[in-house]
Amino acid sequence: MIKVLLLPGDGIGPEVIAQAKKVLLHLRSEYNLKIELEEALIGGSAYDDCKNPLPDTTLDLAKSSDAILLGAVGGPKYDNVGRKLRPENGLLRIRAELDLFANLRPAILYKSLAGASSLKPELVADLDIMIVRELTGGIYFGEPRGIRTLENGVRQGFNTLIYDENEVTRIAHVAFRIAQKRNSKLCSVDKANVLEVSELWREVVESVHNNYKDVFLSHMYVDNAAMQLVREPNQFDVVLTGNMFGDILSDAAAMLTGSIGMLPSASLDSNDKGMYEPIHGSAPDIAGKNIANPLATILSIAMMLRYSLEELDLADKVEQAVQQVIANGLRTTDIADKHSAIGTNEMGDAVIDALT
């Protein structure tokens, strides 16, 4: 039996996970997917329960599960909670504790959604980019960090952007291998014109490239990459980048596909054990209204089936069902464009209908 842990989290997290759960139960009853579901608290909901955004019970369950599906964490209610106890820190800790260093964020345009993209339809036609984001290092985790008071009484905030060559090597291998399975083009994004850490990043990526000579490697500064993403996104196949640059570029890439509510992700360790999550946050502005788009979370199930559960046919089926629903003109508010919108629940039901 495959153990899947559901971590709904906060805001729209529980709403989108409820849809994903329906889909998983449907795959179990109709397609004989042998899964056992468990649920646990993370983020603000865990903090409310026990003053800890990643309780030991949740972490233990996560470690003993075969795969994890997370909604989202965070919200304004926790803005003044100390950094270590913030909901976001629960998410960062589970990523670090499980060594989920490879974050895959595919930005794919579903054909009939071109009108919902913020770019002209011809610029996003057939868009299919894979962003490979390093997830357990860089400035998110670098020490020293903090806020200190200088001798002159001025307060100073500081973080450390740090990567060692082993961290760069392992994420580069992941990106090259993915590029080999796609169009064999890898663009590594950095800030090597300013930062030593990027200078080393570039050097290491170049040396890993010696193992993958069939892949065309290029390098781009992150400011240019942000510009190129909205100028001519189809020039990219696989994009490799660090933790913070990847966070920013993937939100921008999401909008090319119509909405941040469409982008799934996989966060993998070196054995392809993974946590799967939409790239969006808890969207406090729309939480509790049954209007959030659950498709990013449902598409994250497809990634889970593909990368961790070796259920490639079922992964295709889930993606085809989402494609079908979109082709049928069903839309949540965020991608409605000229269509009338349906709710979160109804979208979940529509995917299940399409699977049937």
Active site residues: 140, 191, 223, 247, 251
Candidates 5, 17, 3; CA nearest to 287 is: 17
Using the rule CB under 6 A, which residue among 116, 283, 325, 350 binds ligand NAD? 283
If the CB atoms of residues 26 and 133 are measured against ligand IPM, the closer one turns out to be: 133
Nearer to ligand NAD, 42 or 215 (CB): 42
Does the footprint of ligand IPM cover residue 91 (CB under 6 A)?
A: yes
Cα–Cα dist 295/157, whole Å: 38
Cβ proximity to ligand NAD, 187 vs 292, nearer residue: 292
CB of 174 to ligand IPM, least distance (A): 17
* Separation CA 263–CA 247 (nearest Å): 12
88 binding Mn ion? (CB under 5 A): no
Size of the site for ligand NAD (CB under 6 A): 21
DSSP codes, 257-323: TT-GGG---EEE-TT--EEE--SS---TTTTTTT-S--HHHHHHHHHHHHHTS--HHHHHHHHHHHH
Tokens, residue 133: 């984001």
Of positions 10, 88, 247, 311, contacts Mn ion by CB under 5 A? 247
Q: Is 282 in the site for ligand NAD (CB under 6 A)?
A: yes
**Numbers of helices and strands, H then E, in the chain:** 12, 12
**Preceding peptide of 121 cis, ω within 30°:** no
Interface of this chain with ligand NAD, residues 64 to 83, rule: CB under 6 A: 72-75
- Give residue 62's Cα distance to chain centre: 18
Residues near 235 by beta carbon (within 8 Å), at least 6 away in sequence = 228
92 binds, among ligand IPM, ligand NAD, Mn ion, none (CB under 5 to 8 A by kind): ligand IPM
Q: What residues from 211 to 250 belong to the interface with ligand NAD (CB under 6 A)? A: none
User: What is the smallest separation between the CB atom of 251 and Mn ion, expressed in angstroms?
Assistant: 6
Stretch that binds ligand IPM, among 55-63, 87-95, 201-209, 348-356 (CB under 6 A): 87-95
Residue 319 makes contact with Mn ion by CB under 5 A: no
Q: Which does 293 bind (CB under 5 to 8 A by kind): Mn ion, ligand IPM, ligand NAD, none?
A: ligand NAD
Three-state DSSP at 256 gives helix
Answer for the pair 220, 228: CB distance below 8 angstroms, yes or no: yes
Structure tokens at 201: 């990043």
Least distance to ligand NAD from the beta carbon of 273, Å? 18
Report which secondary-structure segment, H or E, holds 255. helix 243-256
Query: Cβ closer to Mn ion: 134 or 247?
Result: 247
Residue count of the chain = 356
Under rule CB under 6 A, residue 285 binds ligand NAD: yes
Tell me how far CA of residue 352 lies from CA of 21, 310, 336, in angstroms: 11, 21, 20
Task: Provide the mask over 269-288, with x wherever binding to ligand IPM is found by CB under 6 A and - wherever it is not.
Answer: ----------x-x-------
Helix, strand, coil content of the chain in percent (nearest 5): 50, 20, 35
User: Can you tell me the distance from the alpha carbon of 201 to that of 195, in angstroms, rounded to the nearest whole number?
Assistant: 10
Binding part of the chain for Mn ion, among 189-197, 217-225, 242-250, 341-349 by CB under 5 A, reads 242-250
Binding mask 245-264 for ligand NAD (x = CB under 6 A): ---------------xx---
Binding footprint of ligand IPM on the chain (CB under 6 A) = 74, 88, 91-92, 247, 279, 281
Binding footprint of ligand NAD on the chain (CB under 6 A) = 12, 72-75, 88, 91, 260-261, 277, 280-286, 292-293, 296, 334
